Every structure is written in C-alpha cells, then in structure tokens.
Structure 1
Amino acid sequence: MKKEYQPGANPQKLFFSIGEVSEITHLAPSVLRFWEKHFKQLSPRKSRGGHRRYQKKDLELILQIKDLLYNRKFTIQGASKKISNLHKEREIDPGLLKKELQELLNILD
C-alpha cells in the first residue's frame, strides 16, 4: 500500500527517476521516452550510469504535453508547436499546472 505524499515532505528533492515520473503522471515510461524524441524541450539530465533524472520543470512540461495530447486532443506535431510557442501565447495556465502537479505529488511516496 502506498503512503500518502505529504506536501513539503521532501522539498529538497531535485531529481526524479523515470519510474517516479511515471507514477506521478500516470504515463508509461515508454511514453515518456517517446515524448523525448518528439519534444525537444523535454530533455532530462542523465546520470553517469545513463539513467534519466527529471527535474520539477520537466514534470510541469510533461503535464502540459499530457494536457495538450489527452485532454485537448492535439496531434504530436501540433502539441510540439504549441509548446514551442507557449512563452508567447501563455494559453496553458502555469498556476493550474503547478496545482495539478502538487495534487499528483500528493499521491506519491
């Protein structure tokens, strides 16, 4: 049984494994790896051993991509263009995504 994630329980955590990101976002690791090929902005750091290390900004981006593809029904190409223009358009509310990320983090631990 999973423990309930407590907000701020580990505010120092800087990096997440692909398994942790998969749990938080409810996306398969293969989907995350696939998206890395199609979204140039999604580029997690790699450890010396070659393991992906995602930062909180990567989680926010993944949630934005997930929203565009799954909720707003964009194509991969369309979502990629939208993400590229995100800073100009500001159509995706970062505050809302941060709230959603926190809610998803509450599930994990």
Structure 2
Amino acid sequence: MHIDLPDKRYYKIGEVAKAFNVNTSLIRFWENEFDVLKPKKNKKGNRLFTPEDLQNLKLIYFLVKEKGFTLEGAKNKLKENPDEVFSKHKIIQRLEEVKNELIAIKNQL
C-alpha cells in the first residue's frame, strides 16, 4: 500500500485516515490496541502522528487488512519479530511498484 502524504514532521489524524482510506475511529482504535502506536498529543488533545507512527500504521494495516490477521495475531506477529514483518512488507511494496511500472511500460507498447 502506498500512501500519498507530503513530508512533514507531524500529521493530523484526519490526514492519516484519509491516506489509509479508513475512518479516524479505526486509527484511534488501533492506537489503543497496539503498543507501537504512540502519537503525540497537543494541548487540545489532538493526535499528531510522526513518520515513524505512519510506518507502524502501514505494518498494522498490512497485517490486518491485507493479510487478514486478527488483532491478536497481528499483535503477536509485531511482538515476536517486528524487523521480519517490516522487511517483508518493504519487499512486497517494492514488488508492487515494479509490477505497476511494468504494466505501464506494457500499456505504452
């Protein structure tokens, strides 16, 4: 999954939800369920997500929405070997990018 957000230090929850095409309530729910999500909060209590939080959200989205893991299964997977999950996710993302590039080249021929 490729999210299209500009490079910033912090992202509001609405921006994050729109990028992932989910409701803000799901982002807040995942924040409560997964210990790796720790968005900062401003004085008003608004959540501000860092790029690191976005990477963790990508992993959670990948495991839950794309791979079909249950929340408990995704939690266990992230706890037992987060580096393996992250590297596999990066490889899958890169392969999808290459596939899209090849399809674009094929369509131009």
Tell me the TM-score normalised to structure 2 length: 0.71
* Contact 1:60 1:97 (8 Å CA) reproduced: no
Secondary structure class of the residue paired with 2:88 = coil
Task: State the identity %.
Answer: 29
> Deviation of residue 88 (structure 1)?
5.4
1:21 is paired with a residue whose SS is helix
Matches of 1:60 and 1:75 in 2, distance apart? 19
Q: Which residue of 2 aligns with 1:34?
A: 29
- Are positions 1:49 and 2:35 aligned together? no
List runs of 5+ in structure 1 lacking aligned partners.
Answer: 101-109
Which residue of 67, 75, 78 corresponds with 1:72? 67
1:37 CA drift (Å): 1.1
Larger RCO (CA within 8 A; separation ≥ 6): 1
In our comparison, the structure showing a higher alpha carbon Rg is 2
Contact 2:63 2:74 in 1 (8 A): yes
Aligned CA-pair RMSD: 2.6
Q: Structure 2: which 5+ residue stretches go unaligned?
A: 97-109
Structure with greater helix share of residues: 2
